[in-house]
Chains A and B, each alone.
Chain A
Amino acid sequence: MDLNNFFQSKTFSVVLMIIGAMIALLLVFKLGMDIGFRKANFSYQWGENYYRNFAGPAESFPKNMIKPDDFMNAHGVLGEIIKIDSPNLVIKDRNTLEKVVLVKDDTVIRNLKQNLKLSDLKINESIVVIGESNESGQIEAGLIRILPPPPPEKTLERFPKDRIKK
Chain B
Amino acid sequence: MNKDYEEIEPPVYLFKKITSRIEKEERLLALKRRIFAFFAGLFGLIPALVYTLKLTQDNIAKSGFGEYFSLLFSDSAVLARYWYNFFSTLLESFPIVESIILLAIILIIMQISKYLARDFRSIKSLQAI
Residues of A within 8 A of B (CB): 3-4, 6-8, 12, 15-16, 19-20, 22-23, 26-27, 29-30, 33, 71, 73-76, 78, 93-95, 108, 110, 128, 130-132, 142-143, 145, 147
Contact = CB atoms under 8 A, between A and B. Distances in A.
A17 B17 CA distance: 43
Interface string B72-88: 00110011011001101
A55 to B, nearest CB: 37
Given A8-B114, A19-B106, A128-B71, 7 more contacts: A16-B111, A23-B103, A26-B100, A95-B62, A110-B74, A143-B71, A143-B79
Contacts, number: 101
Contact of A29 (B85, B88, B91): B91
Contacts of A6: 117
The majority secondary structure among interface residues of chain B is helix
Contacts of A23: 100, 103-104, 107
A143 B92 CA distance: 17
Contacts of B67: 78, 128, 147
A30 B95 CA distance: 10
B103 A74 contact: no
A4 B92 contact: no
A130 B118 contact: no
- How many B residues are at the interface, by size bracket? 35 or more
Contact of B86 (A16, A27, A78, A130): A130
Given A4-B117, A130-B86, A143-B75, A94 B103 contact: no
A145 B121 contact: no
B110 interface: yes
B39 to A, nearest CB: 16
B110 A76 contact: no
Contact of A74 (B68, B75, B92): B92
Contacts of A132: 82, 85
Contact of A27 (B68, B74, B81, B100): B100
Given A23-B100, A145-B71, A7 B89 contact: no
B20 interface: no
A146 to B, nearest CB: 11
